[in-house]
Amino acid sequence: MSAHLDILLEVAILLPRMSTKEHNERIELLQGSLDLLILRTLLLGATHGHAIAKMIEYNSEEVLQVEQGSLYPALHRLIKRGWISAEEGTSENNRRAKFYRLTAKGRRQLVVETSKWDKLAGAIARILRPVEQESK
Amino acid sequence: MSRRRRMLKDLDQDIRDHIAIETQENIERGMSPDEARSSALRKFGNVARVREETWEVWSFTWIEQFFTDVCFGVRALRKNPGFAIVAVLTLALGIGANTAIFSVVEGVVLAPLPYPQPDRMVLVQESRPNLAHLDISYPDFQDWQHSVRSFQQMAALTWRDYDLTGPGASAHLNGMEITSGFFSTLGVKLALGRELSPSEDLPHGAPAAVISDRLWRDRFAASPQALGKSIVLDGAVFTVVGVLPPGFRFLTDADIYTSLAQGSPMIYNDRTIHGFAAIARLKPDAKIAQAQSELSAVQENLDRLYPAADQNLGTLILPLKEALVFEVSGILLLILGAVSIVLVIACTNVANLSLARSAARTREFAIRSALGASRARMVRQLLTESVLLALAGGVLGLGLAKLAVSVIVALAPASLPRADNIAVNLPVLLFAFGISLVVGILFGLAPALDSSSVDVQVSLKAGERGSTRAHPRTQSILVIVQMALTLVLLMGSGLLLRTILHLWKVNPGFDRQHVITFKVGLSPSLTKTASSTRTAYRQLLDRIREIPGVQAADFTNVVPLSEHDNGGPFWVGAQQSTSMQDAPHALYFETGPEYLQVMHIPLLQGRFFTPADNSASEPVVVIDSVLAHSYFPDKDPMGQLITVAHWRTARVIGVVGHVKHWGLNDTGAYNPSQIYISFYQLSDEWVPAFARELSVAVRTPLDVATIMPAIRNVVYGTGKDQPVYDVQTMEQIASDSMASQRLSMILLGAFAVLALLLASVGIYGVLSYSVSQRIREIGIRMALGAERRDVLKMIIGQGLQLAVAGLVIGAGVALLLARLISAFSRLLYGVQANDPVTFMAVSLVLVCVSVLACYLPARRASRVDPMAALKYE
C-alpha cells in the first residue's frame, strides 16, 4: 500500500459528496433551503457571495455551516430563474466584486417559499411532538 | 455573448475572490498564511465540482458530457476489442432476428393498406347459421348497394383467369371481374383512361377492360395509344379503356379487370350462389356499427322477400385490413414472441459479459468516485458505453435482417397476405434503432448500477488486482434465465417438428405420389357450345392417355388440398326440404370417370362413373364415406336420392373414401361431406363456368420434366392457342398445404438453435470466469489430494446445476405457454402442447449441449498446476 494511495483516501473522505444514499438526500434537502436562505439574506440589500455566506453563518448563530462553494451553483440557479440579478460593484474593502440583488419576482417567491417552509416545519413539529410527550 | 457565457466568464474570478477574502479574514484572526488558505479551501469545498455544478445550471452540459462519454466509451471499447466484438456480434444476431420478423409483422399486419384513408375501407360478407364467413351473392349486393347510407361507395369482385390470345403470344393471365366503381371505391386513380362505366357494367354492355401497368408495357409498348385498342380474352374481343398505375395491387397480382355483369350469368344472376367479395368505403364520419345496423335492416327485408334463398342469412362488416390479415396475425405474433426470447437471451449474455468486465474495472470506478464523480454520472457513462455497443449491434443486425427478410419472403407460403409489402423500410429502421436503444439500456443497467455503487475504500485498498468482486449470484441467475428461455423455444420448435412428421404420415385419402396436375386453356373455337366443350375435353384426355408412361388421366374442378372451396347445399331425398341457408353442405367434385384411378381413392361400395353416364342418362352421384355415415347412418345409401342445389335430383351409385381436402391436419370441422358429379352430366348452362375451373390430373411414374413435354405436344397439337399452366405435382400441393407449419417450424427452429448457441456461450462464459476466480481454491484442493477427475466433475456439476435449474423453470413456463399454443390448434397436429416425448428430447439436447459448454472450462480447471496456482498471489 503506497503513501500515494493514503492521500487519495484522505481526499475521498473529505469529499462532500460520497456516493451513499443518505448523503445524497441531505444535499437534496440543503439545496432547497439554501435557496430560501439566500433570498432571505438578500432581502436586507444587495451584497457579494462571501458576504452572503458569512451572514447566513452569523444569523444562524453558526449552527448552519454552509459549505461555501455550494453557494455558487445556488446563486446561478436563482439568477436563471430570475429571482435575483447580478451586477458589478465594489466591496467594503474596495475590491471589485459581483453583487447579487433580489428581483421583484424573487421577493414574491420569498413569500411563497417562506410560507411553504413554515408549513413544512409546522407539520414536522406536529409529528415529532407526541413522541416527545411519550418519552417524558 | 450569450447570457450563459457572460454568467460563467466571471465564475472563476468570483471563486478566487471568495477564497481570497476568506483567507484574508483567517489571517486577521491570527492564522499563518498557509493555514489560513487551506482552511479557506476546506470551507469552500471541492472547487472543481462547484464549477461543474454551476456550469450545469446553464447547461447544455448534458450534451457536452454526452460527447465526452461517447468518446470515452469508444476508447474503452477499443481497449478491449474481444469483449466489444463478442458483444456486438451477439447483439447483432438478436437485433437482426427481431428486426427481420418485425419487418414481416410490419409489412403484413401493421402497415396501413396502400389506399387513401385506408381506415374507411371495409369488407362486406354474409354469414349462415353454421358458417361465420360466407362469400356474397351478386343480387344481394345489388340490393345493398344503394340502401346503406353509411357507405360512400361499394364494389363487388371475383377472381377470374383469362386466356389472352392477342395482341402478342397467347398467355394465361390472372384477373378479376369487377363492378364499375371498384377503383374509385379503393380511391385509386388510373394512370391512363378511366375505369369501367356503369353502362359497360351490364350483361350486354360494350366489352371493356382495364389492364395493369405490366400488361400495358408488355403488349402495348407503354403507348398512350393503347386506349381504345382491342384485346382478345377467352376468344372475345374487349376494348382497353384504362391502364392502372404501376404497383397497384388488390390482394393478388392481376393484369386484367372486366365487368362482373359480363361474366357467367348462371353465377351472378343467382341469389343462392355466393361467389363474390364486396368492399365498401365508409363515409368520412360513418362508423362500422352504424353501417352494420343499416345493412342488417336491408338484409332482413331480403330474408323475408326471398325466403328460399336468403332465409337466415346474415351480414358482416369487417375492417378490410383486419379481414385480410386476421388468419396470419396470430402465427406472426407467436413468431414475434419467439424471436423476442432470442433477444432477451442475447441481452443476458452481453449483460453477463459486461458484469465480468465491470468486475475488472472496479478500481477504475473507485478512482473516479474518489475524484468526485457522482453515481448518476457514472451510471450514465456506463449506459453510454452499452448503448454504443447496442447501436453497433443494431447496424450490423440491420444487415442481417435484410438477408433474413429475403429468405423469409422466399419461404413464405402463398397464403401469406401482403407478402409483397414486406421490406426493410423506415418503420423497420426506426424499430431497429429503438430496440437497440432499449437493449443497450437493459443490458447496461445491471452492470452500471452494480459498478457505480463501489465501496471506494475497499476497492482501492484491494490494490492492483482490481477484480476483487465477482457477481456469481447475478451471473448464475442470468444463465438460469437463458436456459429456461432456450428450453421454451426448443420445446416450441420440437412440437412443430413433430407436427410436420405426423402430417407427412397422415393418409389424405388418396395417393399423392406420382400424380401431376395442370390446367389447359382450351381454344375458344372448341368451346363454343356445351356439347363441343364436352367433346373437346374427352378428346384431349383420350390423347393424353395414349402418351407412354401415363397410367391414368382425368380432370377435376377441385384438386384435393388446393384450398379451392366448391361447397354447396344438398338435401337427402327428391325435394328441397329446407331453405338454402338451413340445408346441409357438401364439397362438390366435378370429375371424369377415370378420376378414382388417378388419385387412388378407394371405392367402398357400388361403382364410379363410366363414359355411359352422360347428359342423356339418369343423373347419378357418388358420395364419400363421411356423407354416407352422417346422412344414411342405418340404411344402405346405394340407390338413395340426393337433391343437389342448382342442379337436380340424382341417384347414389357409389361410396368412396373421404379425402382430406382442407389440409392434412383437417379434423372434419368444416364441410366434411363430399359429393362427386360427372362433368359429362352437368347441365349445358353450367358447362362454361365449370370448364374454366377444370384441372387435368395424370398418374405417371415419370417425373414432371420427362412427361410434360409430351403432354404439351399433345395439347398444342390441337391448336396453338391453348396454354398449359399451373403444373404441380400432388406432392408439391400436399407440401404447400403445410406451408404455415413449415415456415413456423423453420423460424422457430432457427431461433431455438440461435438461443441454444447463445445460451451455451453464456454458460461457458460464466464458468470460465468462475474458474479463473477459483484458480487458487482449485490449486489448494489439488494440493490436498483432489484428482483431476474430481475437479472436472466439480466444475461440470456447477454448470449442470444452472442448466437443470433453468430446465425446471423452463418446463414450468413451457407448460403455461402450452395453453397459449393450444389456441393455435391449426398449427399443432397429432401432438399435445405438453407432449412428454418432445419435452424429454429437448431436455436431453439442452443438457448435452450444456455439458459440452461446461467441458472446456472444466478441463482448464483440471489442468491447474497446484504449485503455480498457490504462487499466483
Enter the ipTM.
0.71
Tens of pLDDT, residues B129-145: 777 788 899 999 999 98
Which residues of chain B neighbour A98 with C-beta distances below 8 Å?
10, 14
For residue A97, give the chain B residue with the closest CA: B14
Q: Is A76 on the interface with B (CB under 8 A)?
A: yes
Chain B partners within 8 Å of A15 (Cβ): 46, 370, 372
Q: Is A23 on the interface with B (CB under 8 A)?
A: no
Q: Which of A19, A73, A95 minimises the CB distance to B53?
A: A73
DSSP count for chain B of H helices, then E strands: 29, 22
Best residue in B11, B57, B59 to probe A by mutation, most A CBs within 10 Å? B57
The Cα B390–Cα B383 span in angstroms is: 10
Alpha carbons A72 and B303: distance in angstroms, whole number: 85
Task: Report the Cα B791 to chain-centroid distance in Å.
Answer: 48
Q: How far apart are CA B701 and CA B707, in angstroms?
A: 9
Tracing cell 431461433 back to the chain, one arrives at B751
- Looking at residue B187, its pLDDT comes to 92
DSSP codes of every residue in B52-77: HHHHHHT--HHHHHHHHHHHHHHHHH
B165: three-class secondary structure by DSSP: strand
Say how far apart CA B286 and CA B309 lie, in whole Å: 30
Q: Which of B665, B661, B659 is nearest to B824 (CA)?
A: B665
Q: Which residues of B touch A91 (CB under 8 A)?
A: 21
B58/A86 CB distance under 8 A: no
Give the type of residue at B684: D
pLDDT of residue B255 exceeding 90, the answer is yes
The answer, yes or no, to whether residue B530 has pLDDT greater than 70, is yes
pLDDT of residue B631: 93
Task: Give the Cα separation of B587 and B659 in Å (integer).
Answer: 10
Give the Å distances, CA to CA, from B161 to B256, B520, B555: 8, 12, 18
Q: Report the pLDDT averaged over residues B687-714.
A: 89
Amino acid B193: pLDDT:
92
Under DSSP, is residue B250 helix (H, G, I), strand (E, B) or coil? strand
CB distance B857 to B771 below 8 Å: yes
Taking a C-beta distance cutoff of 8 angstroms, is the pair B652, B625 a contact?
A: no
Residue pLDDT, tens place only, B764-798: 888 888 888 788 888 888 888 888 888 888 888 88
Please state, rounded to an integer, the average pLDDT across all residues of chain B: 86
Q: Can you give the pTM of this predicted structure?
A: 0.71
Smallest Cα distance from A88 to chain B, Å: 10
Q: Does A12 touch chain B (CB under 8 A)?
A: yes
Contact A68 B44 (CB under 8 A): yes
Of A21-25, B4-8, B94-98, B759-763, which range is least confident? A21-25
Q: B711: closest CA among B700, B692, B721?
A: B700
A67 touches chain B (CB under 8 A): yes
- Compute the nearest-CA separation of A80 from chain B (Å): 8
Tell the burial category of B241 from Cβ atoms under 10 Å away from its Cβ (0-12, 13-18, 19+).
Answer: buried
* Shortest distance, CA A72 to any CA of chain B (angstroms): 7
Torsion of CA B287, B293, B295, B298, to 10 degrees: -150
User: Do B822 and B732 form a contact (C-beta atoms < 8 A)?
Assistant: no
Residue B601: count of CB within 10 angstroms of its CB: 24
Q: How many CB pairs under 8 A join A and B?
A: 93
pLDDT digits (tens, 9 = 90+) for B324-342: 887 778 888 888 888 999 9
Q: Do A67 and B49 touch (CB under 8 A)?
A: no
**Gap from B873 CA to chain A (nearest CA, Å):** 15
Which of A5, A14, A72 is the closest to B15 by Cβ? A72
What pLDDT shows up at residue B654?
A: 94
SS3 category, B579:
coil
pLDDT attached to residue B550: 93
Is the bond preceding residue B167 a cis peptide, omega within 30 degrees?
A: yes
Domain boundaries, chain B: 3-59, 130-311, 327-505+738-871, 522-722
A77 touching B (Cβ < 8 Å):
yes
Please state the φ and ψ torsions of residue B727, each to the nearest 5 degrees: -75, 125
Question: What mean pLDDT comes out for the span B673-677?
Answer: 94
Mutate to test the interface with A, among B5, B18, B46, B377 (most CBs of A within 10 A): B18
Give the SS3 label for residue B650: strand
Between the CA of residue B649 and those of B169, B580, B590, B748, what are the distances in Å?
44, 15, 16, 51
Q: Least CB-CB distance to B46: which of A1, A16, A76?
A: A16
B346-386 tens-digit pLDDT? 988 888 888 877 777 777 777 877 776 777 778 888 888 88
Taking an 8 Å cut-off on Cβ atoms, the answer to whether B18 and A49 are in contact is yes
DSSP B415: T
**Separation of alpha carbons A77 and B733, rounded Å:** 75
pLDDT higher than 90, residue B176: yes
User: Distance, in angstroms, between B5 CA and closest chain A CA?
Assistant: 12
Closest CA to B479 of B806, B796, B831, B111: B806
Give the tens place of pLDDT for each residue, B18-54. Answer: 888 888 888 988 888 899 889 888 888 888 888 888 8
Judged against a pLDDT cut of 80, whether residue A131 lies above it is answered with no
Query: Closest Cα partner for B593 from B548, B552, B535?
Result: B552
Position B271 scores a pLDDT of 86
Domains of chain A: 19-135 (1.10.10.10)
Distance of CA B468 to the CA centre of its chain: 49
Short-list B615, B516, B3, B167, CA closest to A79: B3
Please list every residue in chain B whose beta carbon sits closer than 8 Å to the beta carbon of residue A70: 45, 50, 53
